[in-house]
C-alpha cells in the first residue's frame, strides 16, 4: 500500500487537508546531479537504460517533499518504437532525418509488441517502484497522438508546426490513419505501464493549442479521448493540453480523472469552463520560479487559494525550466506543503 495517497486522493475527488504537489519535468534538467549525468550519457541512452531512468526519476524526490514521482522518459519513445529514428540534436532538440511525408511512410511504420520494443521503459518502472518503497505514487506518461504527429511530420520542434498542420489539412484521410496508428500504440503502451505498476498516467498534448477548437476536436481530442476511454478503468488519467482552455468543457465530460491547465487561464475560469466536474492541475507559470523565493512562496499559496484545496493538484503550467535555482523550486514545493486553508 502507498503511504502518501494525497495525489491519488485528489484524483478521486476526496477531501484533503492540502493539495498534493509535483512539477512537470521535475525529473531532469534543472537538477545539478542530472546535468552531471548528462555529461556522461546522451539523452536517449538515459531514457533507454532502466537503471539510469530510475535514478533520474528519484532525483527530485530525494531533494523535495513531493507527493508523486514521474518516470523519467520521453514522449518520442513511441515513434522510435514505431520505426521513426528520432535523435536529440544539440541546439536543435528532437530531430527526424526523414519525416513522414507519404502513404508509403505511414504504411512502413512498425507495430511490434510494446513489451518487446519498449521493454526498457517497463524495466525502469519495476526498478523505480522498488526504490520508491511505496512512499509515493508513480506517474507514467505519453504524448498525445497529435503532438507525436506534429514531430513525426515536421521532423523537429517548431513554434507553429506549419508543415504538420498543412499535412493534416491537405491529406486529411492519411493524417487520420497516422493518428490512429499512434493512438493504438499509445494505448497498448500505457496499459502495459499500468500493468507494470504506474499508479496514474498523464497525456501531454503540448501542441494542441496550435489548432482551432474545431480542428482540435478532429485531430487531437478525438484521439486523446480514445486513450482515456481505454485507460480509465485501469488507472486515473490526467490530460494536459497546453493552450487548450477552449476544450475544458468537453474534456471535463470525459472519463479523465484530472485536467492540467497552463497559466493562460485563471483558476476561476478553469473551474467555470470545466463546470466544477473534475480535479484540475496547474497552473503556476514556470518563469515565475525565477522570482525571489519569498515571492514564489506567496504567489504559490495565492494560487491554491484561488483554485481551492479540494479537487486540485498543485503544479506548474508547463515543464520546469532548466535555469531554475534549486532554492526557488524548493520554495514552490514548500508553499504547497505548508498551505493551511
Share above pLDDT 90 across residues of the chain, in percent, rounded to a whole number: 97
* 3-class secondary structure, 259: strand
pLDDT of residue 341: 82
How far, in Å, are 58, 71, 216, 235, 306 from residue 255 at the CA level? 30, 23, 18, 11, 25
Consult the annotation and say whether 318 binds a ligand. yes
Spell out the domain ranges in the chain.
41-275
Q: pLDDT tens for residues 51-76?
A: 999 999 999 999 999 999 999 999 99
3-state secondary structure of 54: helix
Q: How far from chain centre, in Å, is Cα 37? A: 22
69 is in an annotated binding site: no
29 has binding-site annotation: yes
Round to whole Å and give the CA distance between 304 and 56: 28
Average pLDDT score over residue span 200-216:
98
Looking at the DSSP assignment, which residues form a beta bridge with residue 69?
A: 138
pLDDT at 316 over 90: yes
CA–CA separation, 128 vs 53, rounded Å? 8
d(CA 55, CA 319): 19
Query: Is 308 labelled as part of a ligand binding site?
Result: no
Q: What is the pLDDT of residue 248?
A: 98
The per-residue pLDDT for 28 is 87
pLDDT (0 to 100) of residue 133: 98
Within 10 angstroms of residue 317's Cβ, the number of other Cβ atoms is: 22
Q: What is the mean pLDDT of residues 222-235?
A: 98
List the one residue out of 245, 281, 280, 279 whose CA is nearest residue 264.
245
pLDDT (mean) for 149-172: 97
**Residue given cell 535523435 in the structure block:** 87
Q: Is 329 annotated as a binding residue?
A: no
Whether residue 271 is predicted with pLDDT greater than 90 in this model: the reply is yes
The pLDDT value recorded for residue 92 is 87
Percent of the chain with pLDDT over 70: 100
Going by C-alpha positions, the residue among 252, 308, 315 that lies closest to residue 282 is: 315
CATH of segment(s) 41-275: 3.20.20.210
Cell numbers for 300: 504559490
Mean per-residue pLDDT of the chain: 97
Asked whether the predicted pLDDT for residue 307 surpasses 90, the reply is: yes
Check whether 202 is labelled as a binding-site residue.
no
Predicted TM-score (pTM) of this structure: 0.97
The three-class DSSP label of residue 207 is coil
Stretch among 81-95, 155-169, 251-265 having the lowest mean pLDDT = 81-95
- Long-range contacts: 225-229, Cβ < 8 Å, 24+? 225/254, 226/183, 226/187, 227/142, 227/145, 227/183, 227/186, 227/187, 227/190, 227/203, 228/203, 228/254, 228/255, 228/256, 229/254, 229/255
In this model, does residue 249 exceed pLDDT 90? yes
Measure the CA angle with vertex 30, ends 236 and 53; round to 5°. 55
Which one, of 213, 217, 279, 214, lies nearest residue 252 by Cα?
Answer: 279
Statement: residue 179 has pLDDT above 90: yes
Residue 270 has a pLDDT of 98
| Ordered DSSP codes for 55-74 | HHHHHHHHHS--S-EE----
Phi-psi region of 16 (alpha: psi -120 to 50; beta: other; left: phi over 0): beta
Kindly tell me if the per-residue pLDDT of 287 is higher than 90: yes
Residue 90 above 90 pLDDT? no
Q: Is the pLDDT reported for residue 91 higher than 90?
A: no
The H-assigned helical ranges of 24-171 are 32-38, 43-48, 50-63, 77-81, 103-107, 114-117, 119-132, 145-154, 162-170
**Could you tell me how many residues make up the chain?**
341
Active site residues: 25, 29, 38, 74, 151
State the cell numbers at 107: 504504411
Cα distance between residue 8 and residue 304, in whole Å: 18
Per the CB < 8 A criterion, the answer to whether 21 and 336 are in contact is yes
Predicted confidence at residue 132, as pLDDT, reads 98
| pLDDT value at residue 5 | 98
Q: How confident is the model at residue 302 (pLDDT cuts 50, 70, 90)?
A: very high
206 is in an annotated binding site: yes
**pLDDT score, position 24:** 98
Sorting pLDDT into bands at 50, 70 and 90, what band is 39?
confident
> Which run of H or of E encompasses 258?
strand 258-261
Q: Would you tell me the crossing angle of helices 162-170 and 172-196 to the nearest 10 degrees?
A: 110
Rounded mean pLDDT, 117-146: 98
DSSP label of 87: E
Amino acid at each position: 500500500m502507498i503511504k502518501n495517497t494525497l495525489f491519488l486522493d485528489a484524483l478521486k475527488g476526496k477531501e484533503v487537508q492540502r493539495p498534493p504537489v509535483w512539477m512537470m519535468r521535475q525529473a531532469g534538467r534543472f537538477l545539478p546531479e542530472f546535468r552531471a549525468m548528462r555529461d556522461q550519457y546522451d539523452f536517449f541512452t538515459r531514457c533507454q537504460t532502466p537503471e539510469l531512468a530510475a535514478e533520474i526519476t528519484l532525483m527530485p524526490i530525494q531533494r523535495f517533499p513531493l507527493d508523486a514521482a514521474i518516470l523519467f522518459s520521453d514522449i518520442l519513445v513511441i515513434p522510435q518504437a514505431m520505426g521513426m529514428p528520432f535523435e536529440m540534436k544539440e541546439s536543435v532538440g528532437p530531430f527526424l532525418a526523414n519525416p513522414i511525408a507519404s502513404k508509403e511512410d505511414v504504411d512502413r511504420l512498425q507495430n511490434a509488441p510494446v513489451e518487446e520494443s519498449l521493454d526498457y521503459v517497463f524495466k525502469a518502472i519495476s526498478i523505480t517502484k522498488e526504490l520508491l518503497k511505496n512512499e509515493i505514487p508513480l506517474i507514467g506518461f505519453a504524448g498525445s497522438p497529435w503532438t507525436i504527429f506534429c514531430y513525426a511530420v515536421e521532423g523537429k520542434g517548431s513554434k507553429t508546426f506549419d508543415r504538420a498542420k498543412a499535412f493534416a489539412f491537405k491529406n486529411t484521410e492519411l493524417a487520420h490513419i497516422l493518428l490512429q496508428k499512434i493512438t493504438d500504440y499509445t494505448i497498448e503502451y500505457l496499459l502495459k505501464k499500468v500493468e507494470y505498476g504506474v499508479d496514474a498516467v498523464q497525456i501531454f498534448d503540448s501542441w494542441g493549442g496550435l489548432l482551432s477548437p474545431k480542428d482540435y476536436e478532429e485531430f487531437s481530442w478525438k484521439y486523446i479521448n480514445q486513450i482515456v476511454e481505454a485507460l480509465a478503468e485501469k488507472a486515473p488519467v490526467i490530460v494536459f493540453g497546453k493552450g487548450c482552455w477552449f476544450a475544458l468543457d468537453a474534456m471535463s465530460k470525459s472519463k479523465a480523472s484530472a485536467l492540467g491547465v497552463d497559466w493562460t487561464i485563471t483558476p476561476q475560469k478553469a473551474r467555470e469552463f470545466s463546470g466544477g466536474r473534475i480535479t484540475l492541475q496547474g497552473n503556476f507559470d514556470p518563469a515565475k520560479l525565477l522570482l525571489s523565493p519569498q515571492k514564489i512562496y506567496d504567489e504559490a499559496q495565492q494560487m491554491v487559494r484561488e483554485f481551492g484545496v479540494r479537487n486540485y493538484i498543485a503544479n506548474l503550467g508547463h515543464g520546469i525550466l532548466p535555469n531554475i535555482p534549486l532554492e526557488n523550486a524548493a520554495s514552490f514545493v514548500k508553499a504547497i506543503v505548508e498551505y493551511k486553508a
